Chain A
């Protein structure tokens, strides 16, 4: 009998909204993205995207309120890794964030987090499901050159 391999593996964690948990999320991301088959360089990029999403969720979404939490979910598909980060904040419109590459914004102190997530991941979207917080979805596809296995 042929063993049945599940189509999707899911890893889910809820973290207290505290900056110290950003490193916890990075560690989980590195392990999950390694398991998904990404090489070291891609793991670093995915880890940075999750780092920036966690910062946005804790700092901007939950306003650094440690009584709130951040929900993190990884879905390992055969061909891609899908990551969801949800906070308990009021949301934001990524279209309203100025392009940090434009000359007048180049020396701005902030505003590069979302830009880096977009640069490192293949898909990025922001949703405000049922008014219960902001959920960021990021997808990284496995290309034939990135497999470690």
Chain B
């Protein structure tokens, strides 16, 4: 999923414990593992309260606050990603052993572990089949569905070999990493108790989970409708008002969980209370007595709560970072009002930050797209983006530069040395000479123009007439001061080579609405659009480019199209090749303007809390690990 303005989508993925408020110390209240009576409080990101509980949903509910910070605590996904501070597959938290690939990577075998649901049911293949059947019936309503790519379109059949073993037959060979990380990652097994079409129905009466794969579309649709309505979405009347949110904590449906927690209180403003699930089968059991998510309407209200010592785990708003750090990977001094009670732990997530060129743009007198298509221009443009300066001054040191399509941090095995060594360091002289050696008259502080048009090596390029100015419009998402500052700084930087960029602000959604791939026959004059978030690799954890950089991909906003790149991408999803060729090519070809990636959250952890770090780079929180 694409990233977004921190304030909007990203939650403070932090792990911590303790609460200042209500701490009733009960004597000898231990049952089994040493449990405490502490209440753990965690700050939600502003204005993003969880609002959807059913783990099969459309894109409109597909958010971090709903999935990673809410549903995952109760309904575990089949495979868990995020191991320590790496984004890798986590075998100990997955519900199944690592999948095995055979038959030329066309067959995938899944062996389930011994998990129980809280109502006594055992985790079986039928639970997995339940979700797969529903996907087959309702793929249009599934958030991560891509036509022709991945599940369910590339599934030939699924066989249930035993209550703990399933076999997937694929229609074509796949890259094992890609299929595990990007496709199997979408599956959340569902309990038999949900397989019904009315409150009074018996478990399994819906007929969706027990059916053979793809054979129960009507039944699964009925079950899907029933469950969605219980969660607040009526497919038949999507605009109808409903008040299901208030029933989340009381509806017995949602009390059937296989994760470490279950819901005890929930309200529409985002106050969420969970209690430990006594039959959780995972490796680490929760010891807190309650886990509470606290909503905030703004950064300043959350900061006030921290100052008042009211949270176990929160985040430091960027406006309150007074000192910063010199080393992005290590926390600098904490804000003086918090340093007495809290420790600071920066969190970087598995994402890259960039904004697209519109290669089909008709802006700037029809030349914008043509100018962008010239590699030398993109190189000059990128060479003027002084990422280290912006990280140091605007992000106060808490940021990672983006040099290519694969994140260089958190540490992973995919980032190549080419990427990590920054192919285009900041250099105004180099930028100017790139332009002037290709037929442009460089006017620093003014408007550079093309004085040598044509298509040979030292001329401006195809479709760029003489006198064309380097003048572009860049629309960025308002709402965050950091992005505005950065855009301003970059604008002044580009002006050094006579590249004249006019900035304008709009809401996040407007920018997204404008940054769409051009369709034939429609005028398409957007040139540069920056929503501030780039792309977050979740749930497509394996950072291949089929969703963002492949020709015609749905999120290939700028319509970037390169034959060699397409071949590279296909190889990474279908053959067992590493990402190196693909990422080195794009690090050099600059399909988008790479931008520094600020820390997702500057997590504040109360001092007497353990088990919070290392934080998962995939946004999930694990309060079952919290100890105090």
A, B in one complex: no
